[in-house]
Amino acid sequence: MSRIVCLTVAGSDSGGGAGIQADLKTFAALGVHGVSAITSVTAQNTCGVDASHHLPLEVIEAQLKSLHSDFKISAAKTGMLATREIIRLVAENVGDYPLVVDPVMVATSGDALQQGGAADALKKHLLPVATLITPNIHEAQVLSGIRIDTLEDARRAAVELGKLVDAVVITGGHLQGVDILFHRGELTEIPGKLLPGTYHGSGCTFSAAAAAYMARGLSLEEAVREAKRYTFLSLSASHAPGRCARVPDHLFPLKREAERHRVLTALEDAVGELLRLPGFPELIPEVGVNLAHSIPLPASLEDVAGIRGRIVRAGDRAVAAGCVSFGASRHVGRVVLAASSREPRIRAAMNILYSPEVVGAAQRAGLKVGSFSREDEPRGTSTMEWGTLSAIDACGFVPDIIYDLGAHGKEPMVRLLGESPRDVLKKLGGILRELSL
């Protein structure tokens, strides 16, 4: 069975967070076979670059010719090309496939990765054969000659660079997370979120992902959007293997998808236990109960599993009206999304009947209690998201339960929050024990 092949032409990062190492991990995570031509070997870590050695031109050329003689390459990316001679050589030896150019000039630490004249060589030799260039604002400033302080400046720089290359995306790590894409004469803003901290390897990861997605057949704009999403997820789960900058977890998106099965299994087990729990039917409100559980770092309701049709009361019994599945809970799902955005370890929630006795029982059980008033809710907001965040902000932490007293046509409600469905059921058990005393 053949596999899509993607090429990276870049430097080696001995610290493993950027360069060839980041590119190959990204290719593997996105389901393509990665091949590489190393241009330079660096001695670096998460704090900086200590030394570098640029490979002889004949060795770089030999790598490229060897790869092209054997593999059908579907897309490629370039990274650290330190000298004019290396840039020209690479430009003369790339094949007829989409080429993403990451114009790496300076490491995260501030150490220079290109010699003088390399920027001019990029513009003269490599950009004309590139499909997409992915500069950050500092690189875009050097290549375009336009100082970038605002989004409008970035738009002008993108248009200017568009005279040299088919498409350009100026990445928005310094532009409130907004990427500026210029392609086929049109400017497109791709919004995003900024993560706090210093990261090593984000540019390499983004450009490698864009190449991988194009190799898989996505359009250029689709590839850029998916690369941004993949990079954000990888950075969301970043770790600090050294003393300085954080590095992406390139496999996190895969781990995240694998977690979906575990989430469904944990939720199914919890629902079965909940239906057998003595005293629970007395706490089912008129609208029913939902128990929700999310994968790590959920981004939307499709990342949160719940019970279709909820749990309802039938006589003195609790009955699940449907099976568990992702996207099945809007209200409790939004509680999970909001709480997780403040504290990622909180990934489960459940609603139960409100009464002063229930709140009192929760307090006697040692649970931390928060609340919000629907009367304070601004227009145009989601009650569950706004109410959850308001209660968390008022407490200064994520409480165990959040309640509100309802409003016209809205039933008062208690929501239990926890790290897992089992954690939520443990807190519910404490409430039930106090109520039965």
Q: What is the mean pLDDT of the chain?
A: 92
pTM of the model: 0.77
* Amino acid 233: pLDDT: 87
CATH ID of 258-436, from 3.40.225.10, 3.20.20.70, 3.10.580.10, 3.40.50.12780: 3.40.225.10
Task: Please state which of the ranges 135-139, 350-354, 406-410 shows the lowest mean pLDDT.
Answer: 406-410
Give the CA diameter of the chain.
83
**Using CB atoms within 10 A of its CB, is residue 308 exposed (0-12), middle (13-18) or buried (19+)?**
middle
For 296-327, give the DSSP string. SS--SGGGEEEETT-EEEETTEEEE-S-EEET
From CA 62, how far away is CA 354, in angstroms rounded?
72
The pLDDT-based confidence of 334 (bands split at 50, 70, 90) is: very high
With a cut of 70, say whether residue 114 has pLDDT above it: no
Query: Tens digit of pLDDT for each residue in 118-166?
Result: 888 899 999 999 999 999 988 899 899 999 998 999 999 999 999 999 9
Closest among 252, 396, 433, 414 to 332, alpha carbons compared: 414
- Domain coordinates in residue numbering, the chain: 5-250, 258-436
* Amino acid 361: pLDDT: 96
Residues 86-92 have a mean pLDDT of 95
From CA 109, how far away is CA 168, in angstroms rounded?
25
From CA 433, how far away is CA 369, in angstroms rounded?
17
Q: At CA 23, angle to CA 22 and CA 24, rounded to 5?
A: 95
CATH homologous superfamily, domain 5-250: Ribokinase (3.40.1190.20)
From CA 104, how far away is CA 86, in angstroms rounded?
13
* Amino acid 379: pLDDT: 85
Residues 189-194 have a mean pLDDT of 87
Could you tell me what percentage of the chain is helix, strand and coil, using 3-state DSSP and rounding each to the nearest 5?
A: 40, 25, 35
Query: Tens digit of pLDDT for each residue in 145-155?
Result: 999 998 999 99
